[in-house]
Amino acid sequence: VQLEASDTYPDQAMWEAVTVSDYVFSNMENPTSYVSNLTDGIHIFKRILSTECNDISDEVRIKKISKPDITLPNDTVIFAENLTINAIENENNGQWSVVQGDAGFSSLENPVCQLTDIAYGTNIFRRTVANQCGSNFKNITITRRKPAINLGNDQTVCGNETELHAFLEDTSLRGKWSVIKGTAIIHSADSTKTPVMLANGENIFRYTVFIENDTIFAEQTIFSIELPKANAGNDTTICQTMHTLNGKGNGEGKWYAIDGDVNIYNVLNSNSNIEVLSETERPIKLQYTVTNACGIATDEISIQPVLEKPNAGDDLSFCG
């Protein structure tokens, strides 16, 4: 700031600080000297004129007022409907206002304010402060949204056992599992991570979170493929060269001859006919193999041929 003294004898006058501070004068003899390092508040400076008779002086008071300043918290993203915000300012006459969005204020004047019923989406709140040097404001953006629930990708599993796992963006929340489609059995519906017994085919699960006056949920589809099963039928005894097989399974089946002289008419037909090609006392062994997306299963069947031939007896000669 520049001092403005009016001296009759400027060469005989000097500036002096009455209040104590780390002032810096550009020229203490100059009646219009500049002085710096003034803090907020009252500062007193004395102009002393020295004469042959005595020293005379006069004082000037300077009040430094800073421009209004405000510090607000950083912009933030929230899930809850209430939040406390704290403004730091160099005046006590600030005022809160809404620029965008909606919320309730515990006090429009108090720099420490409780916001309630904050609207979903982007909310912009303003704190305005004024003094003799003008006015100033700053905004804070508070974005309220629903917390994300991540159940992972839909999946296909082999067998009927797997595990559900809900990942919550807001770890303070808890929800509940339920079955939307299928007859699956959830071991612990109140846990974020739980074993589950699946039904064959499509299973749809939902994880629901209740947050204040709202409900959010996410769903996951798990398709269960039954592990392959093969049934070649019961071991049997046949009395003829022809026999019909009875294979069963839950995939693509195929017959294989393991042991014995036998012809399988259609290896891809679960009910194929077979023909025993030669006499044998050993059982014929066949394997039925079933293949699906989850692997291969096999089962064997033993077929014992009993091929009796008619016996007319030995040739005879007789007289008569």
Q: Sketch out the chain's domains with CATH numbers.
A: 16-64 (no CATH), 70-144 (2.60.40.10), 149-225 (2.60.40.10), 230-305 (2.60.40.10)
d(CA 10, CA 49): 8
| 312 confidence band (pLDDT: 50, 70, 90) | low
d(CA 140, CA 98) in angstroms, rounded, equals 10
3-state secondary structure 268-320: CCCCCEEEECCCCCCCEEEEEEEEECCEEEEEEEEEEECCCCCCCCCCCCCCC
Q: How far is CA 181 from CA 112, 201, 227, 317, in A?
A: 50, 10, 21, 85
**Band of pLDDT at residue 219, cut at 50, 70 and 90:** very high
| Mean of pLDDT over the chain | 91
Q: Is the pLDDT of residue 310 over 70?
A: no
* pLDDT at residue 176 tops 80: yes
- Element (DSSP H or E) covering residue 49: strand 41-50
| 268 pLDDT above the threshold of 90 | yes
Residue recorded with tokens 């394997």: 287
**SS in 3 state form for 135-169?**
EEEEEEEEEECCCCEECCCCEEEECCEEEEECEEC
Given a contact cutoff of 8 angstroms between Cβ atoms, the answer to whether 294 and 159 are in contact is yes
Is residue 212 over pLDDT 90? no
Residue 310 contacts by C-beta under 8 Å, 6 or more apart in sequence? none
Range of lowest pLDDT (1-5, 299-303, 307-311): 307-311
Q: Considering the entire predicted model, what is its pTM? A: 0.62
pLDDT (tens digit per residue) in 108-163: 999 999 999 999 999 999 999 988 888 899 999 999 999 999 999 999 999 999 99
For 12, phi then psi, to 5°, come to -110, 10
- SS3 for 86-105 is ECEECCCCCEEEEEECCCEE
Q: Which of 28-42, 95-109, 197-211, 241-255 has the lowest mean pLDDT?
A: 28-42
Over pLDDT 90: what percentage of the chain? 63
278 vs 122: CA distance, rounded Å: 86
- Alpha carbons 112 and 85: distance in angstroms, whole number: 6
Grouping H, G, I as helix, E, B as strand and the rest as coil, residue 36 is strand
